[in-house]
Structures are given as structure tokens and as C-alpha cells.
Amino acid sequence: MISLQNRYSGGFPAIGIRPIIDRRKLVKAALKDMTMELAHNVAQLLTETLRHPDGSPVRCVISDTLISGVTEASRCSAQFAREGVGLMISVASGWCYPLETMELDPQIPHAIWGFNGTERPGAVYLAALHAAHNQKGIPAFKIYGRDVKDLDDTSIPADVSDMLLRFSRAGLVVAMLKGKSYLSIGSVSMGIAGCIVDDSFYQHYFGMRNAYVDMTEVTRRIERGIFDPEEYVAALDWVKANCIEGDDPNPEEMRLERSVKDRNWETVIKMALITRDLMIGNPKLAALGWEEEAYGYNAIAAGFQGQREWTDHYPSADFLEAILTSSFDWNGTREPYIVATENDNLNAITMLFGHLLTNAAQVFADVRTYWSPEAVKRVTGQQLTGIAADGIIHLINSGPAALDGTGEQKIDGNPAMKPFWDLTDDEVTDCLQAVSWRPTYMDQFAGGGYSTDYTTKGGMPATMVRINLIEGIGPVLQLAQGYTVELPSDMHDRLDQRTTPTWPTTWFVPDRIKDDPVFDDVYSVMENWGSNHCAVSYGHIGADLITLASMLRIPVNMHNVPVKQLFRPSSWSAFGTKDPEGADYRACTAYGPLYK
């Protein structure tokens, strides 16, 4: 079996904690213990709460010395560079010298917690330091607790904790992206603009590089056996035991012979192994004599073009996309891979955002249909009720979606999508049992293959998200928080049969906001969606996504996150306080991409 230790060969970024203190001798002596205790408390909060994608706790690095001036600040910067720090949090309990203690690296996300006391107020330093950051054009996040605390109380208030965690989750994503690759397998699928890979977008906004492989490389590896044969046998046995083949939707005269269907199973398993090896490499290949192929492309995300040059001749990529993006396979539970259908790299990067923020699998979906209550009544004779009463959005992908999207995993007894380390064997079995692998429609996928047929459980909090590229603006992000819903089985069948019933379905209802120009009704959400695709994350993660977007200088053009939950660099308020969306656009334009 493959060793996954090489998946993050460069390791994970650390969070740097900078304890800041007044340089005056007597003040420094009075506050040094408290300041260092605050720094250690922040580190403890983060390491006990946050995990990396492999399940390991995040690592915090505290400055070797308190920072009271330029020399100590420089030593801290050098220490953090040696120890792989990718984001920083400065902590101060009292007044300090802002220009002498600040961090000047504009590419590392930075937050400042100023202790809200009255004896020696760190809030005064916080105000002066964020002003210095703003004046120098280095945006920073301002963390200021609402309630005044006693000087001997070094506990972290709940509101401060929320901001520290939100900043850290988003900052870790920024640091994780830098230096990684997006692997494009093939090119543009069926004229979809989201498949166009814009190198400058990845370079300037994420610090990433792009890698390109023609789909003939997959053919070569299949034909020459460039994959681990032992793992292939184990995978084939696992698929036979766990993947339920569903009814063939094709007319009798168009159905493939059983022998061809069996060969297609063998091919799609090889496609999954090869795609994974292309992304992260596989040391086993070197031992088999394929040294070059063993390296991989250090790809944190990838896309497979598939349609139509591949699918007109070979089995569809549905299986590889569904199984790789799931939290388990023949090797057991493991971190999902991010692989986009049709090489829609904009959806891939969106899925990557959601995965790195939650550590859970993501669902790739078409934003297929808005069903109004009137249309549902006309077609089914039944009335939508509950949160679906004002209409639903049919999210359905062209064949694959992560099996986690079935909703068969549970949190407190409710449907969920969880990090792989929290999955039980029963939950894995339940996900597999909820999926029917349906032979593809031969008029659309002439090479055959198997689509992932399931319906998502209702009641899951979910966030649908998308990044779009807009000429004259650049990237913009949009999101809608809401819930999955289950329809009565006969209603679902009538609606599902009107599209492609062999594909995975998620019925979604966004949270509505009265009198909002977009979120006042469900129809407007779909009407304003910027693409035919979206990524779906478990949970309401919109606030984290907005914080992340601000770090990357990507404006958000559509969201239903409460204003009180918005957390952006403090300088955003200088671009306007009465119109947060407009201020976001102006700030992102003024600062430009993070790696410009």
C-alpha cells in the first residue's frame, strides 16, 4: 500500500506567537510574566482546538524572547523563518513601541491581541500598532475583547477565543497553499471557462504553481502497468466487496456486455490510483523501475478533464473523482484528495478552501435547477413544506461526488460530514451502502463507466461556495449558507427523473434574509450564482471563508453571513463602514493580491 507520508513533504506551517512588551526596565519587569503567560495560553488554545489535515495538532512557536524593540523583533523573525511559521499572532498586555516591535512581512497573515485592561492597557498598543500597519500598507487583524479584564486574569475571553481561532484557521489555509501545485490533467472540458487554468491567478493570489499532464499520460500508465500492482489487487477486491453496482439506465440494445463492464471497473480503479500518484507521487513506483513517475507533482488539488476526449473512448472519471474526494478507500480512512470534475480548477480551489478550513470532504456539484413551490406542485401534485416551502435548489453533479455527501456520518445523531479521524467503521459502511454505482448513459459517455447515485440526507447545515474570475476585477468569492433537505420519496423521484437520476443529488435551501437583494428568496440565490458549479461544505463556514478571502485579497460579492460575524483586517473599515461589501472591494483593489 502507498505511504502517505510524502503527501505533505514540506511539513505543515506553524503559528508564531509574538509576546510584545514595553522596553522600559521597570515596566518590563512588572509585565514579563503576564505577557508570556498570555502567549502560552494562546498557544494552548490553538494546539488543543485546531488540527492539520492529517489529524495532527497544529504547532505553535513562541518567540524565544519577549519583544520590546527592533533587535528582538528581528531575532523573532529569523526564528520564525527557521521554524516554518506561516502566520503570526502578537500578544501585548500593555503599552509597547509599535514601530519598533511590529512585523513587516506583508505576505504572512498577522493578528494582534491587545489585552483589554485598564491598569496597563494593551488595547492602547493595539490601536497604535494597527494604525502603523495600516499606514505602512500591511493589513493586520485587530483582536480586542469586549469586556475589561482584571490585570491578573490571563484567561482568554470567549469573544477573543473566537477571533483567534477564526484568524488561525484562515491563516493556516493561506500558509498551506503557498508553494503547492494545482495539477491539470487534460485541458478544457466541453467549453467550460472554469477549466481554463490562469497561472497568474494561482501565482499571485495563492503563491502556487501549476502543473500540466495530458490525459494520454493516464493511458500510458494504464497500458504499461505504471501503478502498484499489489494495491491494485487490494483495491479491486475492496470494490467488488463494497461498491454496489446499480441498475443500467440504458436501453437493452445500448447496454455493454458484462465482460466490458468488468473491464471498465478494472480501468476506473487504475485511473484512481494513477491520478493519486500523479498528484502526490508514490515511492512504490521507483522500486518497480519507474523512478521519474514516482515523484508526483506536489499537487494539493487537481482536475481531470474527462469529457469528451476521454469519455468518448474510455470509462468516465466518475469513480476516481468520487473515491479520491471521499474520506476512505481500500486503504481505510484517510484525508480526502481534492479532484475537480471536468478540470474546473476554480471549483477545485473552492473545494480546497472548504477542506482546509474543516478537514472534511467536499461535494462538487452542478447548480442545476431552482424548483419553485408552484412548479413542484404542478409536477408532483404535492406541496413543499418546512424550510423548503419557498423553493429548493437541486445540486447534482455529472456522475461523481464524495461519498461523505450521503450524510450517513453522524454528529450527535444528526447527518454530518466529518474529518476522517472521527469516522467509525460503521459510518464508512453506511456511506458505501447508501451509494449505487450506476452504469453511465451511453449517449453521453460512450466509453462507459459508473456514476455515483445517492441522495443526501436532510438536516445538514451546509455552505455552497464558488470562486469566479471576472475580467476587470479578478477573483470574487460567493457563498450561501443553508441546509440540506429531504423530500418525500415520491416527490424526489418525480423531480429527479426529470434530469439524470443516476447522479448524486443534494436538495439545498439557503438561509433567507428579509429584504436582502439576493437572499430574500431562493430563486435570487440561484439567479445570482456566478457559474454552473459550486462546492458544498458541511457546516456554516461562511465567516471563516470571508476572513480567508480578505487575507488573499479576494472580495466577496454575495453572502448571507450576519454582519457581526465578519472578521477582516482592521484597515477594511478605512474603506467605508456603512457598506461592508463595497469596502471589501475597495480594500482588495487597493492592496492587490497577496503575492503581487
Catalytic residues: 342, 366
* CA 206 – CA 208 distance, rounded (Å): 5
Can you give 163-224 as a three-state secondary structure string? HHHHHHHHHHHHHHHCCCEEEEECCCCCCCHHHCCCHHHHHHHHCCEEEEECCHHHHHHHHH
Output the DSSP codes for 23-42: -SHHHHHHHHHHHHHHHHHH
Closest CA to 194 of 529, 557, 508, 487: 529
Closest CA to 447 of 227, 216, 202, 263: 263
DSSP lists the bridge partners of residue 432 as none
Q: Quote the distance between the C-alpha of residue 246 and its chain's center.
A: 31
DSSP label at 351? H
User: 277 a known binding residue?
Assistant: no
User: Where are the alpha helices (H) located in 294-424, listed in sequence order?
Assistant: 318-324, 345-358, 373-380
Q: How far is CA 39 from CA 33, 69, 89, 146, 239, in A?
A: 10, 17, 9, 19, 50
Q: Is 26 exposed, middle or buried (0-12, 13-18, 19+ CB in 10 A)?
A: exposed
DSSP label at 420? G
User: 366 a known binding residue?
Assistant: yes
User: 394 a known binding residue?
Assistant: no
Which residues are CB-neighbours of 345 under 8 A, at least 6 positions away? 182, 184, 194, 195, 196, 197, 301, 303
Which residues are CB-neighbours of 359 under 8 A, at least 6 positions away? 51, 52, 53, 55, 335, 419, 420
* Binding-site annotation, residues: 342, 366, 533
* Binding-site annotation, residues for Mn(2+): 342, 366, 533
